[in-house]
Amino acid sequence: MNKIKLIISREYLTRVKKKSFIVMTILGPVLFAAMMIVPTWLASIKDTDVKKIAVVDSSGIFINKLTDTEYIKFEYPGNISVKKLRKTFHESDYYAVLQIFPSITYEPSAVHLYSKKQPGFSIKSHIASSMEKELKNMKLRSHGIDEEVLRSIKSDVSIRTIQWTEDGEEKESSTEIAMIVGYASGFLIYFFIFLFGAQVMRGVIEEKTSRIVEIIVSSVRPFQLMMGKIIGIALVGLTQFLLWIALTFIIITGVKTVFFPELGTKNAQEVVVQDLFEQQNIAAAETIQPQDIDKFTSILNSAKSINFGVIFGSFIFYFLGGYLLYGSLFAAIGSAVDNETDTQQFMLPITIPLILGIFVMMNAVQTPDSPIAFWFSMIPLTSPIVMMVRIPFGVPDWQIALSMGLLVITFIGSTWLAGKIYRTGILMYGKKVNYRELWKWIRYKF
């Protein structure tokens, strides 16, 4: 046991002192924080230049009917032609010229927008939305239908999801937040298993090709070496993950306090949501109702109902369990080959369950209690990914216990199996290994 501890200590200290570990530990939180901060910052930046658009309407339908915004103004220069406007366009203060042909009532493409440069999507979308609204009103009037009647009968439905706990309490929840948390957790486990599992495999190959492993195994048993390496790299990954969480929280809190101190208030949240809508579509922003903003902010507030303690604990368990399971298999592959090129033939059986877990995860986000989600959250090769998607939606305790138990049992079995391959392959050089050869190594008795 002491020898395994020494190997764990060596693997851990060697890797955390590497420049790549330090750089990624610092860079990771910066990127994560930027993903959360940049949208808020962009929402606070607006294009304050007023864009004047000259409207040449041959149909006569849209004269003084297009909706102005704070930054888009429509002007109607009368009977002047597009040709005359083109001659003086570069000297004028017009941003663009909008030409509408008489066939607009039956030909949707009978609109041309001339400009000095490619217009933004929001401008084009706003023009199209304003014209569609006016055409709809015109057709309603031609059929004797009042637009106010249609507006009055329009109804919106916003569903609040409330959970009844076994204690009889009510707890507001959010399906949207559960989907985001579950998807992010499952994808992170998939990413970490591949990242650190590949590190185990490369480490074994490097020690094998440099022949340093011959010196190491003279002091420790191959199985002890494999376990020490797997656990050591697992601790490196866990350390980096915890540092990412802590540093990301510190960066976001610091930036929010210094640059966005007003975001803690409800009114500020509504302003940010409104600005985000405007960034996407100016025309759509005009039709945003107060209940739309309330719904969005309610979703954000519902995040407080999620038990992040349970999710974090489950994440750590499934991260370690999934990594140890796949790490032992990666170590076995590394011991069986002499270089990374030869690993391709053995990587497929390991890669398929992980990729399959990602596909099932996408299905489980939509239907977390479906049979396929249930069974793949029980199968140890896919449970670390799929179960993490289901947990935010609420999973019975017996299912979590069964999934964790099967994962532990499978890890023990895979470690025993990988150990038999490892102790033979670690000292095998220059021989092309196939599945039949691996089967012989598993059957060897020592």
Q: Please name the amino acid found at residue 411.
A: F
Report the 3 state secondary structure along 287-356: CCCHHHHHHHHHHHHHHHHCCHHHHHHHHHHHHHHHHHHHHHHHHHHHHHCCCHHHHHHHHHHHHHHHHH
Distances (CA, A) of 319 to 2, 58, 195, 396, 407: 25, 66, 12, 20, 11
Tokens of 237: 């990954």
Domain, as residue range, for 431: 2-40+175-443
Asked whether the predicted pLDDT for residue 285 surpasses 50, the reply is no
- CB contact at 8 A, 203 and 231: no
Pick the last residue of a domain from 120, 141, 162.
141
In a domain? residue 73: yes
Residues 6+ apart with CB under 8 A from 292: none
Asked whether the predicted pLDDT for residue 315 surpasses 80, the reply is yes
184 and 246 fall within a common domain:
yes
**Picking from 155-159, 272-276, 363-367, 411-415, which range would have the lowest pLDDT averaged per residue?**
272-276
Beta-carbon neighbour count of residue 60 at 10 Å?
Answer: 8
% of the chain with per-residue pLDDT over 70: 77
In this prediction, residues 242-258 reach a mean pLDDT of: 82
CATH of the domain at 61: 3.40.190.10
In this prediction, residues 82-95 reach a mean pLDDT of: 85
Looking at residue 157, its pLDDT comes to 66
343 and 376 fall within a common domain:
yes
Residues 6+ apart with CB under 8 A from 238: 316, 319, 320
Q: CA-to-CA distance for 415 and 399, rounded, in angstroms? A: 24
352 exposed, middle or buried (CB, 10 Å; 0-12, 13-18, 19+)? exposed
In a domain? residue 66: yes
Higher local confidence (pLDDT), 202 or 165: 202
The highest-confidence range among 82-86, 91-95, 135-139, 376-380, by mean pLDDT, is 376-380
67 and 209 fall within a common domain:
no
In a domain? residue 156: no
Q: Give residue 282's pLDDT band: very low, low, confident or very high (50, 70, 90).
A: very low
In the chain, what's the furthest Cα-to-Cα distance?
98
Residue 387 is classified by DSSP as H
Higher local confidence (pLDDT), 387 or 445: 387
Tokens of 32: 């994560």
Q: Tokens 């349970």 belong to which residue? A: 310
Looking at residue 280, its pLDDT comes to 46
Looking at residue 409, its pLDDT comes to 92
Asked whether the predicted pLDDT for residue 256 surpasses 60, the reply is yes
Pick the last residue of a domain from 96, 118, 141.
141
Looking at residue 446, its pLDDT comes to 56
In a domain? residue 137: yes
Q: Give residue 284's pLDDT band: very low, low, confident or very high (50, 70, 90).
A: very low
In this prediction, residues 125-134 reach a mean pLDDT of: 87
**Picking from 182-191, 207-216, 264-273, which range would have the lowest pLDDT averaged per residue?**
264-273
26 and 56 fall within a common domain:
no
In this prediction, residues 21-26 reach a mean pLDDT of: 85
* Number of compact structural domains in the chain: 2
Looking at residue 439, its pLDDT comes to 79
Looking at residue 279, its pLDDT comes to 45
Pick the last residue of a domain from 141, 160, 188.
141
275 and 398 fall within a common domain:
yes
128 and 270 fall within a common domain:
no
29 and 58 fall within a common domain:
no
As beta bridge partners, residue 34 has: none
Which pairs count as long-range contacts for 433-437, CB under 8 Å and 24+ apart, including other chains?
433/336, 433/337, 433/342, 434/345
In a domain? residue 358: yes
As beta bridge partners, residue 57 has: 100
Looking at residue 379, its pLDDT comes to 92
What tens digit of pLDDT does each residue of 424-438 get?
777 676 667 777 777
- CB contact at 8 A, 321 and 404: yes
Q: What one-character-per-residue DSSP string does 187-245 give?
A: HHHHHHHHHHHHHHHHHHHHHHHTTHHHHHTTTS-HHHHHHHHHHHHHHHHHHHHHHHH
To the nearest whole number, what is the mean pLDDT of the chain?
78
108 and 255 fall within a common domain:
no
Q: Please name the amino acid found at residue 180.
A: I
Distances (CA, A) of 242 to 15, 246, 252, 281, 322: 16, 6, 16, 38, 17
In a domain? residue 158: no
What tens digit of pLDDT does each residue of 365-412 get?
888 888 899 999 999 999 999 998 888 888 888 999 999 999 999 988
In a domain? residue 200: yes
224 and 193 fall within a common domain:
yes
Q: CA-to-CA distance for 244 and 315, rounded, in angstroms? A: 14
Asked whether the predicted pLDDT for residue 287 surpasses 50, the reply is no
In a domain? residue 161: no
234 and 208 fall within a common domain:
yes
In this prediction, residues 91-99 reach a mean pLDDT of: 87
Higher local confidence (pLDDT), 48 or 148: 148
In this prediction, residues 262-278 reach a mean pLDDT of: 50
The highest-confidence range among 172-181, 234-243, 245-254, 352-361, by mean pLDDT, is 352-361
Looking at residue 158, its pLDDT comes to 64
- CB contact at 8 A, 272 and 256: no
Looking at residue 3, its pLDDT comes to 77
Q: CA-to-CA distance for 259 and 43, rounded, in angstroms? A: 13
Q: CA-to-CA distance for 246 and 225, rounded, in angstroms? A: 32
35 and 57 fall within a common domain:
no
% of the chain with per-residue pLDDT over 90: 7
Looking at residue 163, its pLDDT comes to 65
Looking at residue 162, its pLDDT comes to 66
62 and 85 fall within a common domain:
yes
